[in-house]
Homo-oligomer: A and B are copies of this chain.
Amino acid sequence: MKKVRITFWTLAILLIGFAGGIYLFGSNSNVQQQSNSSGSIMMEQAVEPPEKIKKVIQTYNLIKENYVETVEDQQLIEGAIQGMLTSLEDPYSSYMDIETMEQFSEQIESSFEGIGAEVSIVNGNVTIVAPIKNSPAEKAGLRPNDQVLSVDGESLEGLDLTEAVSKIRGEKGSEVVLEIIRPSASDVMEIKLKRDTIPIETVYSKMKKVNNKKTGIIEITNFSERTAEEFAEQLMNLENDGMEGLIIDVRGNPGGLLDSVEEIVGHFVPEDIPYIQIENREGQKEERYTDLKEKKKYPIEVIIDEGSASASEILAVALKEIGYDIVGTNSFGKGTVQNAVPLGDGSTVKLTFFKWLSPKGNWIHEEGVEPTVKVEQPDYYFSNPVQIKKPLSYDRAGAEIKNVQQMLIGIGYNTERDDGYFDKSTQKAVKKFQKDHDLKETGKVDKQTAGVIEAALIKKIRSGEDDQQLEEALENLYK
């Protein structure tokens, strides 16, 4: 189930920002206040706009009347708003139109409406990677590796993943018919499903014996609405189960709601030190405190990497400054707080209102949290997807060959060189790989071989068997 989050990576950027205060959308009355207050400002100003804004209106009319093509009002209005936000040179302040807002809400609410299956493109086919537990997909009997041919009679051929997913998704309660090929069956099947609300889990935990000690590992993939609650529950379960040490893994976690991380920090930072400081535009700092009497009795570590941003960094730096070890690589470096302010028509402006500082008053913006124990993952974790135009072969040289060499080394097929020169040892490694994977032993890397190498690498990374950051964290925990 954990792998579900992969399908959401394209949206991750939206979540690097998170809301200030305890409110963001929906039924909370504070949202309405916020909305109304800016709404009333608007009405006053609209009658007599600031003198300088006339230049904007002048340009608006110039374009409407003269541009070589007809332009919709909305396009220009959204362009102007986006342009003002762009002028701030703040990557976290942005305009979200109605559609973007829907995706954003999905993230924040950690749920979406659909059939509940992780899908991927495999060899050009839309393929079920895994159905989510208790989802319509699971109940209807969808299985991993099922290929989806069509949705409600419409072929998925030629669509990319996002396009295919948007066809499969739909409102709760609506019905959809998928045409499926199952590798083990010969005929095409039609499967009818009723879409539902699918929760996205953001907390995963397990207990592991390390040096004979019961060690809890909690991974948080995102700080969304139900994350703090899930975290509290799983932490309690681990503690009840006799946990003797805890590792919190926020690698690749882009952040989320301030609320959510505040509740989680509340389990660990005692009341005598602020867990965060919020600084406003006038430079005034508000120190925030938990009501926790004392620190946990067991050792704790946080694992971070360059993808840990925002809320993840609030957690990491707070725990670091009260003496816990932070393992991994330097984090992303986002030290600001955004507020999502609705404009009244379904669109929203996400704007940076505040800076946040660590308990001791450090601003980690654009610097990140430095781990106390630095550990990098192996090089092959960062290899690029292979683009094969013509097969790579002996005595050729280039960046693609370097990439493939690193991947081969990653999956245990050692080459003497990894600098992009295709030497005899690379040829030998390729032949061995091809033999082991029932490919023709050409010693050349064509599209097929490259694809199988890539798949083997992804499998190895996903298996976690070579997760050096986690290994180091476990080793270090009871020192």
Contacts and interface: CB of A to CB of B under 8 A. Distances in A.
Contacts of A354: 68
A421 B426 CA distance: 15
Interface stretch (A69-77, A158-166, A434-442): A69-77
A310 B383 CA distance: 42
B88 A67 contact: yes
A124 to B, nearest CB: 29
Contacts of A66: 281, 339, 351, 353
Contacts of A54: 42-43, 46
B42 A61 contact: yes
Contacts of A52: 73-74, 77
A82 B88 contact: no
Given A69-B281, A397-B419, A84 B93 contact: no
A397 B87 CA distance: 43
A380 to B, nearest CB: 19
Nearest to A65: B41
Q: Main SS of chain A's interface residues?
A: helix
B57 A53 contact: yes
A395 B423 CA distance: 11
A43 B281 CA distance: 35
A59 B78 CA distance: 10
B38 A46 contact: no
Interface in A27-83: 38-39, 41-43, 45-46, 49-50, 52-63, 65-71, 73-83
Contact of A349 (B59, B281, B401): B59
A341 interface: yes
A364 to B, nearest CB: 15
Interface string A346-361: 0101011111000000
Contact of A398 (B46, B87, B280, B420): B420
A28 B41 CA distance: 43
A465 interface: no
A79 B68 contact: no
Contacts of A45: 57-58, 60-61
The CB with the most chain B CB atoms within 10 A, among A60, A78, A341, A351, is that of: A60
Contacts of A345: 55
A39 to B, nearest CB: 7
Nearest to A76: B84
Interface in A77-127: 77-88, 90, 93, 95
A336 interface: yes
A57 B68 contact: no
Given A67-B351, A336-B68, A58 B80 contact: no
Contacts of A341: 62
A343 interface: yes
B57 A84 contact: no
A399 interface: yes
Contacts of A55: 42, 77, 81, 343, 345, 347
Interface string A133-156: 000000000000000000000000
Contacts of A399: 398-399
A108 to B, nearest CB: 20
A93 B336 CA distance: 34
A70 B281 contact: yes
Given A46-B49, A77-B56, A397-B397, A88 B62 contact: no
Contacts of A77: 52-53, 55-56
B67 A281 contact: yes
A297 interface: no
Interface in A382-411: 395-399, 401-402
9 contacts: A38-B61, A39-B58, A41-B61, A49-B49, A63-B84, A63-B85, A68-B280, A79-B84, A79-B85
Interface of A: 38-39, 41-43, 45-46, 49-50, 52-63, 65-71, 73-88, 90, 93, 95, 280-281, 336, 339, 341, 343, 345, 347, 349, 351-355, 395-399, 401-402, 419-421
Given A46-B49, A396-B421, A397-B419, 15 more contacts: A38-B58, A41-B58, A42-B58, A45-B58, A50-B73, A52-B74, A53-B60, A59-B84, A62-B351, A67-B93, A68-B353, A81-B83, A82-B86, A397-B398, A398-B420
3 nearest interchain CB pairs? A83-B83, A79-B87, A42-B58
